[in-house]
Amino acid sequence: MNKIWLIIRREYITRVRKKSFIVTTLLIPIMMFGLFSLFVYMAIKSEQKQTIVINDESGVFINKLDTVQKSYTLVYDHLRSGEENKGILERNKADIYLHIYPFADNKPDSIHLFKEGGVSLSAKSFINDQLDNIFQAKQLQDAGIDKMQIDSIQNSVIQIKSFDLKDNKETNSEIASSIGYAMGFLIYLVIFIYGAGVMRGVMEEKTNRIAEVIISSVKPFQLMMGKIIGIALVGLTQFMMWIMLMLLLQLLLPLFIPGLTEVLHSGVNVPADMQNSMSGLSNPENMGVIKAFMNQNWGLIFASFLFYFLGGYFLYASMFAAVGSLVNEDPQEAQQLTIPVTMPIILGFMIMATSVKDPNSSLSVFGSLFPLTSPIVMLARIPYGVPAWQLILSMVLLVAGFIFMTWLSAKIYRTGILLYGKKPTWKEVFKWIRYS
Amino acid sequence: MLQLQNLKKYYANQKAVDDVSLHIKKGTIYGILGPNGAGKSSLLRMVTGITIPDEGQILFDGASFDANQHSRYIGYMPEERGLYKKMKIGEQTLYLAQLKGMKKIEAMQKINYWFQKMDMHSWWNKKVEDLSKGMSQKLQFVTTVLHEPKLLILDEPFSGLDPVNSEIIKQEIYNLAKAGTTILFSTHRMEQVEEICEEIALINQGKVILQGNVTDIRNQFKHNQYRLIIDRALQGYDNGLISQHNFEYIFQFADQAASKALLNHCLQQNYHIQTFQEILPALSEIFIQQVEGSTASRQFTK
């Protein structure tokens, strides 16, 4: 036990002291924070205004385009005789030129947009929506239907609130599926990143030929488990650091974007469109989303995340260790040999993608019980609520699977780590399992 | 100290170690000799507890060998040397010593002692990847003996060593043996064995062909040949003479009485005798003679 502790400590300390660990631990939250603040900043500071000059030869759209959109200034004008497209833009100091040709048979014929360097997607869709609306209104009017009436009919949307029978809490399947997806994806990522870390560590010991020296002092199983546990602790440390840094940075957010607190608290001096999007929070539909978000059983989600994170990691880490022990110097060999290990992870990810939509299908239930896929799939189901017996069975199976896999991998590992030279075939590997 | 009884280790398609029994006494330097692929490393790995024999028994200090209990008393330097390349030398040496069960304070004392002795003190904060090949082998040797093993197992300890380091390591092996350490090492270079080993075992294709005291073995295979070097041409004696070069003569006699007769003749004729010695066969000769005709012997003579 004492020796395993020494190995865990070495694996942990050498990794935590590495520059790459320090850099990723600090950089990832800063990058995510940076991206987040960039979004907030973009939302607050409205886009640079563009002027659109409209030459409407059909007469249908003149003075009808919506000017509420702050991003665009609209000017109506006509081409002067002999004037080029460029001319009309320069005369109006405009960025975009919209040319609507006369209608043919009461239907739009050609509509063209011109801009130096091409028209951006947002400008195009803005204009497209506007023209669609105006043309639709005109058609309704021509048919003798009142546009206002249509609008009020269209706005009377039916809202369904869903409740969980168990506790009468309001549920929201969009929220549940996005939480499930995020959790499942995180586990998937963690298994890959840290599992591959275990494999590289084993390969390093084998190719450096240090494994034989160490195995003359400790059992191969101790060396393997020491490495796996050490790297798990590195992973947990990194997670904790990320969470702490994110919380810290979040507190600093108002310092970077001075307008933010005002936006959040008063709403004074805020651009109109920003106010619109912010006031959305108080509208009852959005309140429902937030309530559903808060109503999630976060305690259960975090506890099961931790359990499946560790369970999934340990299950796969021992398999990655076994694969690492089979590899000689050639990194291409490693790629080939990892295929049997990575396949079930990817399978789990695929089942998870369907489970977030249909959490109680038989495939989802199977995926959330089968130990090789359950760490990823179960997390996608938990936000929807999972029967207790399934959760317990899944956890028991995962622990059993982890013990079985570690036992199996240890057999491969202890032969593989001492075998130099040629790459063993899978047939030989099965022999080691059978006879050792 | 160490007894191997009918050890067998089979791999998928070959008998790596086939019924080997050896008795190694405390404080001896014991050489395991054999060509590449003879099974030397497989044998040593079983003694270190890295692999388990398929059949047979290992007795360590009279008790049945148990890797958990006895690995503390064994130092093992594998043929394929290896250390963590990116780890600092001082920390690495300490780590390996602690894995052997040493306390930190005790280990630090030993490290200081050996680093001083081997002129390695400035290396503490260096990494193994910064060392030359010779330096890292010296370090490897130190990490192997640091915990004062009772049994030191060295697999091809001199391969890849330059003459200077080779001499240093050889000296340390002598010193350790004098202090009571039992040393078991393998090599495929016979001349080293004759130089430092007291006892040997010759192994070919997993089997022990010969074992025992080096001098005894050479005596056992001697051909009663003698070399005589004198100051002028030998006259009046050609009984048993097989070759002659200037004033150096080689004789082969049926028994020791004949050699005395030759010596008497020389003394009576008042020759000045520079050398008179019995020629003992080199171990390599004996080995080749023993495995004559097998594939291993051909490989060996190269």
Q: Is B84 in the A-facing interface, judged by CB distances under 8 Å?
A: yes
Main-chain phi, psi angles of B20, to 5 degrees: -100, 130
Please tell me the predicted confidence (pLDDT) of residue B297.
45
pLDDT: which is higher, A77 or A371 = A371
Please tell me the predicted confidence (pLDDT) of residue A268.
39
How many residues are there in chain B?
Answer: 302
Q: Is B143 in the A-facing interface, judged by CB distances under 8 Å?
A: yes
Helices A121-142 and A147-155: crossing angle in degrees, nearest 10, is 120
What is the per-residue burial (b if ≥16 Cβ within 10 Å, else e) of A101-127? eeeeeeeeeeeeebbeeebeeebeebb
Tell me the per-residue pLDDT of A191-238, one tens digit each, with 9 for 90 and over: 888 999 999 999 988 888 888 889 888 888 999 999 999 999 998 898
Cα separation values, A115 from A89, A94, B56, Å: 9, 9, 89
For residues B154 and B144, is the Cβ–Cβ distance under 8 A? yes
Q: Strands (DSSP E) along chain B, which ranges?
A: 2-11, 14-24, 29-33, 55-60, 63-64, 74-77, 151-155, 182-187, 199-204, 207-213, 225-230, 241-245, 248-252, 273-279
CATH class of B2-218: alpha beta
Structural tokens at position B70:
């006895």
Please tell me the predicted confidence (pLDDT) of residue B114.
92
Looking at CA atoms only, how far is residue B78 from chain A in angstroms? 7
Q: Is the pLDDT of residue A286 over 60?
A: no
Three-state secondary-structure class, residue A415: helix
For residues A409 and A323, is the Cβ–Cβ distance under 8 A? no
**pLDDT (average), residues A389-403:** 93
Domain boundaries, chain A: 2-41+169-435, 50-155
Around Cβ B56, how many Cβ atoms within 10 Å? 16
Q: Is the pLDDT of residue A261 over 60?
A: no
Top-ranked range on mean pLDDT: pick from A257-261, A309-313, B240-244: A309-313
The answer to whether the Cα torsion of A384, A390, A392, A398 is positive or negative is negative
Rounded Cα distance between B29 and B9, Å, is: 24
Mutate to test the interface with A, among B89, B99, B136, B184 (most CBs of A within 10 A): B99
Three-state secondary-structure class, residue B89: helix
Q: Is the pLDDT of residue A14 over 80?
A: yes
Helices B89-99 and A2-16: crossing angle in degrees, nearest 10, is 160
Q: Is the pLDDT of residue A360 over 60?
A: yes
Q: Give me the residue from A10, A209, A431 closest to B82, CB to CB.
A: A209
Chain A partners within 8 Å of B143 (Cβ): 213
For residues B141 and B77, is the Cβ–Cβ distance under 8 A? yes
Q: Is the pLDDT of residue A290 over 90?
A: no
Around Cβ A200, how many Cβ atoms within 10 Å? 16
Looking at CA atoms only, how far is residue A348 from chain B in angstroms? 36
Rounded Cα distance between A64 and A60, Å, is: 8
- Judged by CB atoms closer than 8 Å, whether chains meet at B82 and A217 is answered as no
Q: In what order do the strands lie in the sheet with B63-64?
A: B14-24, B2-11, B55-60, B63-64
CB-based contacts of B83, cutoff 8 Å, min separation 6: A208, A210, A213, B92, B128, B136, B139, B140, B143
CATH number of the domain at A50-155, please? 3.40.190.10
Of B279, B287, B294, nearest in space to B31 by CA? B287
CB-based contacts of A274, cutoff 8 Å, min separation 6: A43, A44, A46, A263
Alpha helices in A92-219 (DSSP H): 121-142, 147-155, 173-207, 210-215
Mutate to test the interface with B, among A20, A217, A425 (most CBs of B within 10 A): A217
Rounded Cα distance between A221 and A325, Å, is: 12
Rounded Cα distance between B167 and B155, Å, is: 17
Tell me the per-residue pLDDT of A61-97, one tens digit each, with 9 for 90 and over: 887 777 666 677 888 888 887 788 888 888 888 888 8
Q: Is the pLDDT of residue A344 over 60?
A: yes
- Judged by CB atoms closer than 8 Å, whether chains meet at B80 and A215 is answered as no
Structural tokens at position A112:
């063209």
- Residue B281's identity, in one-letter code, is P
DSSP state of A101: P
Tell me the per-residue pLDDT of A378-395, one tens digit each, with 9 for 90 and over: 988 888 888 889 999 999
User: Boundaries of CATH 3.40.50.300 in chain B?
Assistant: 2-218
Looking at CA atoms only, how far is residue A14 from chain B in angstroms? 8
Q: Give me the residue from B71, B81, B85 closest to A216, CB to CB.
A: B71
Rounded Cα distance between A377 and A370, Å, is: 9
Q: Strands (DSSP E) along A57-121, which ranges?
A: 72-76, 96-100, 111-115
pLDDT: which is higher, A114 or A50 = A114
Rounded Cα distance between A356 and A178, Å, is: 8
Chain B partners within 8 Å of A205 (Cβ): 84
Task: State the number of CA atoms in the 13 A half-sphere of B210 facing the CB.
Answer: 22
Q: Is A433 in the B-facing interface, judged by CB distances under 8 Å?
A: no
Q: Is the pLDDT of residue A49 over 80?
A: no
- Residue B249's identity, in one-letter code, is Y
pLDDT tens digit at each of 302 positions of chain B: 888 888 888 876 678 888 889 999 988 999 998 888 788 888 988 888 888 888 888 998 888 888 888 888 999 998 878 888 888 999 999 999 999 989 999 999 999 999 998 888 888 899 988 888 888 888 999 999 999 999 999 988 888 788 888 888 889 999 999 999 999 988 887 777 778 888 989 888 888 888 888 888 888 888 888 888 988 888 878 788 888 888 888 888 887 788 888 888 888 888 888 888 888 888 888 888 777 655 544 454 43
Is residue A45 very low, low, confident or very high in pLDDT (cuts 50, 70, 90)? low
Of A428, A306, A311, nearest in space to A369 by CA? A311
